[in-house]
Structure 1
Amino acid sequence: MSSVFIGELLALSMMAFALGMDAFSVGLGMGMVRLRKREIFHIGFVIGLFHVIMPLAGMAAGQLLSGFLGMLAVYIGGSLLFILGAQMIFAAFKQSEEPFISPAGAGLLIFAVGVSLDSFSVGLGLGMYGSKPLLAVALFGAFSTVLTWAGLLIGSKVQSWLGSYSEALGGTILIGFGLKLLLPL
């Protein structure tokens, strides 16, 4: 292997880890809703898949609209996570056995899109710099899948310790992450 390839692999791996930490944070919040192991596997897989699809879409968009679409994607993602977090907090105090948002079906798609919109922006940048797209998206998908699973599993442990307050904590994490995207410092 050439040193150029190793350097690019290392840079893309660090970028994939950074994007995957977003998925970890959201997974931590989502894990505080009672989930089965099969659901955890499915959620991680879908979020990982979106971390492949979104950068590919960003690369395809290329230079044409990179600045505008990049910021728009970040704001949409932040808004979605903020709204989902607020709904989780509302559901925690509603004293209902059924979660307000289910991380399945349409709810899972909303979560996956919300957490992977920042990878669309990264894809725009990678498309402009001529990076190896297949290597990049494979790393993005793998890192985000594994980190989502880790967040979900840790969140489920916290859920068992905190009981009914765990969903409110999960919602707070999602709101915090949404605000981080909406109000970059």
Structure 2
Amino acid sequence: MLASSVEIGQLLTIIIMAIALGLDAFSLGIGIGMKGIRLVDILKISIVIGIFHVLMPLMGMFMGHYVSSLLGDVATAAGGCLLILLGSHMVYSSIRGGETESFDHRTIWGLTIFALSVSIDSFSVGVSLGMFATDIVLTVLVFGAFGGLLSIAGLLVGRRVSGWVGEYGEAFGGLILLAFGIKFLL
């Protein structure tokens, strides 16, 4: 009886952590979705984010306690810098009009940068989890599932909202990315 309640408590903790990490993907997905996005791209982005939400904590768990004190703040700062750069570029290209090419979620580079920016905090969480005896497979699969599902939800919400804000959608999306990037750095 005690063992099953410990397992249930551990599963609930993993789910809560997965939701917290997936909320970044949700919030930032709103920003990307506001640019206008096709359903196929939503599915592709969400799958890649789900994969990154599996790989990043897995790599962090393997790093374990050896570097946890060093990388916690560095990983968050790197993610914040990436978001500030992406958000700034989106706002700039929106203001400049058609003269500059915006962040393109359809390219491998753009998709990788976006997925990395919403998954980098999963790495530092994985480093922390690497110090504890946890079910690695269950943990990373739950993280991946919630990361993918919440990014789908955020991208769909952003897509819906983009119709309301019209041509300013990309600028608003960039401002959302900027705000989260600054939040990560503070």
Unaligned runs of 5+ in 1: none
Residue 99 of structure 1: how far off its partner (Å): 5.2
Unaligned runs of 5+ in 2: none
Asked whether 1:130 is paired with 2:133, we answer yes
Kept in 2, the 8 Å contact 1:92–1:168? The answer is: yes
The 1:161–1:99 alpha-carbon spacing in structure 2 relative to 1, beyond 3 Å, is farther
Question: In structure 1, what is the Cα distance between the partners aligned to 2:134 and 2:36?
Answer: 40
**Which residue, out of 8, 14, 17, partners 1:15?**
17
Q: Could you list the per-position Cα deviations for residues 55-81 of structure 1 after superposition, in whole angstroms to 9, with x for gaps in the alignment?
A: 000001111111112211111110000
Residue 4 of structure 1: how far off its partner (Å): 1.2
**Which residue, out of 115, 120, 131, partners 1:117?**
120
Residue 97 of structure 1: how far off its partner (Å): 8.7
Asked whether 1:108 is paired with 2:146, we answer no
Aligned to 1:170: 173
Residue 98 of structure 1: how far off its partner (Å): 7.7
Residue 39 of structure 1: how far off its partner (Å): 0.4
Match runs of 1:20-31 below 5 Å: 20-31=22-33
Aligned residues with identical type, % of pairs: 49
The number of equivalent residue pairs is 183
**Which residue, out of 122, 144, 149, partners 2:147?**
144
Instruction: Single out whichever of 86-95 and 15-24 deviates more from structure 2.
Output: 86-95
Aligned to 1:161: 164
Question: In structure 2, what is the Cα distance between the partners aligned to 1:165 and 1:41?
Answer: 24
Task: Look up the equivalent residue of 2:147 and give its one-letter code.
Answer: S
Asked whether 1:70 is paired with 2:72, we answer yes
Q: CA RMSD in A?
A: 1.3
Kept in 1, the 8 Å contact 2:93–2:99? The answer is: no
The 1:171–1:177 alpha-carbon spacing in structure 2 relative to 1, beyond 3 Å, is same
**Which residue, out of 56, 59, 62, partners 2:58?**
56
Q: Could you list the per-position Cα deviations for residues 146-183 of structure 1 after superposition, in whole angstroms to 9, with x for gaps in the alignment?
A: 10000000001111111111111100100011111100
Residue 15 of structure 1: how far off its partner (Å): 0.4
Question: In structure 1, what is the Cα distance between the partners aligned to 2:6 and 2:110?
Answer: 41
The DSSP-based 3-state class of the residue aligned with 2:66 is: coil
Residue 137 of structure 1: how far off its partner (Å): 0.6
Task: Look up the equivalent residue of 1:109 and give its one-letter code.
Answer: T
